[in-house]
Each structure stands twice: as structure tokens, then as C-alpha cells.
Structure 1
Amino acid sequence: MRPTIPAIFLLSVMAGCTTMTPEERRAADEAVCSDYGFRNGSEAFAECLQRIELDRRAERRASMASFERSRPIVVYRPVPLRRRD
């Protein structure tokens, strides 16, 4: 079975919903790539891990962009005050 974008996206969303150590995340990613049929140590295996991480980062960027769009814009204009002596 070949990796598909929706499957990798689902994996990255599920990984974002739980608290995992980097070691646990790496082990889970390696298990996914092994399940896809890639052999550990091969170039294809490394590319699989890279795609998973890139998808995870893209999901984080999209989430942050959506958060930024939902925040109100605050306009600040300083008002100079003159001192009275």
C-alpha cells in the first residue's frame, strides 16, 4: 500500500491531538513507514519520514494562520502629550 496525502494528514492530525515525546513520535512515524512497506535504512524510508514531518509542519502552519485570521486587529496610535510648566 502506498502512502497517500489523506492518510499522512490524518496521522499528523492524530499526532497533534496527543502529547508525545519526540522519541515516541519518531517510533510512531517509523512504524507507519514500515507498514507502508519501506525498509528501515533505505532512501525511501527516509523520504517517508520526511514527508510525514513536512505534513506535520504544514498542518501547524495552517493552524497558526487560521488562528491569526481569527484575532482582531488592534490599531495603536501614540498620542504625544505636551508638558505644562
Structure 2
Amino acid sequence: MHKNLFALGVSMLVLAGCGSAPSQSRTEADQGRCAGYGYQPGSDSFAKCMMTVDVAREKRDARDHPSDARMKSLSIERNGDTRFPICSAAGMDNNLDTVNNAWYGPNCRQR
């Protein structure tokens, strides 16, 4: 029984570590970037550099990953345009509009 509890505890620690690793390495990379620009850690200019890098990433992510509302709008706008396939559950990025009972996504049309 003690072995099972130990194994469960170790598994939980490993899984918890997996969730924080990407953001920690990203933060370290950002810090290295700002330090590479010559800003001293702890200074106001370093903090401003970190904010600038973060805002740029958020803008890039928003551009690369359209919002749910924007995807739904694009799918509806494409209705009848046969250049786009009809959205379905098969699309990895598609979502179900439960109000209209129709699928929508970034690269397809609702109907």
C-alpha cells in the first residue's frame, strides 16, 4: 500500500512539473533576450523589456490563433462558398455551436 501511495505522489509531482516547465523556460528565454539587449535584471528598463516581449507574444498568439467568436463569424460568412469544406467534428480546431447545432472553425464553413 505504501508503494502505491509513493508512486501516486511521484506521478503527481511529475505531472505538476510538466505544467510549469514551458512557461518557466519561456520566462528564462525572455530574461536572456532582455539581458542580451544590455538591460540589467531588476532595473526598470529590464521590466519594460520583459513587458514588451510579453505583449508582442500575446499579439502574435492572437493573430495566429483567431478567437472563438472570430472563427464562428468567419465560418458563417463562408456559408455557400464551396472553396471551403463544411465544418465537422473531424477538424482539430473546430468547435460546436450548440445554439445553432453547427460546427465552425478557422478553415471551413458552417453550411
Q: What interval of TM-score do these two structures reach, taking the shorter chain for normalisation?
A: 0.5 to 0.7
Question: Residue type matched to 2:107 in 1?
Answer: R
Cα displacement (A) at 1:71: 2.6
Identical amino acids, percent of aligned pairs:
22
Whole-angstrom distance in 1 between the partners of 2:49 and 2:26: 14
User: Which structure has more helix as a fraction of its residues?
Assistant: 1
- Structure with the larger RCO, 1 or 2 (CA within 8 Å, 6+ apart): 1
Whole-angstrom distance in 2 between the partners of 1:28 and 1:72: 36
Cα displacement (A) at 1:49: 0.5
Where do residues 1-85 of structure 1 align in structure 2 (5 Å cutoff)?
21-65=22-66, 68=71, 69=74, 70-75=106-111
Structure 1: which 5+ residue stretches go unaligned? 1-19, 76-85
Aligned match of 1:81: none
User: Which structure has more strand as a fraction of its residues?
Assistant: 2
3-state secondary structure, aligned to 2:59: helix
Q: How many residues align?
A: 56
Whole-angstrom distance in 2 between the partners of 1:72 and 1:22: 32
Q: How much is the aligned-residue C-alpha RMSD, in angstroms?
A: 2.4
Runs of 4+ that moved beyond 2 A: 67-73
**What is the TM-score normalised by the length of structure 2?**
0.44
Cα displacement (A) at 1:74: 1.3
Whole-angstrom distance in 1 between the partners of 2:27 and 2:50: 8
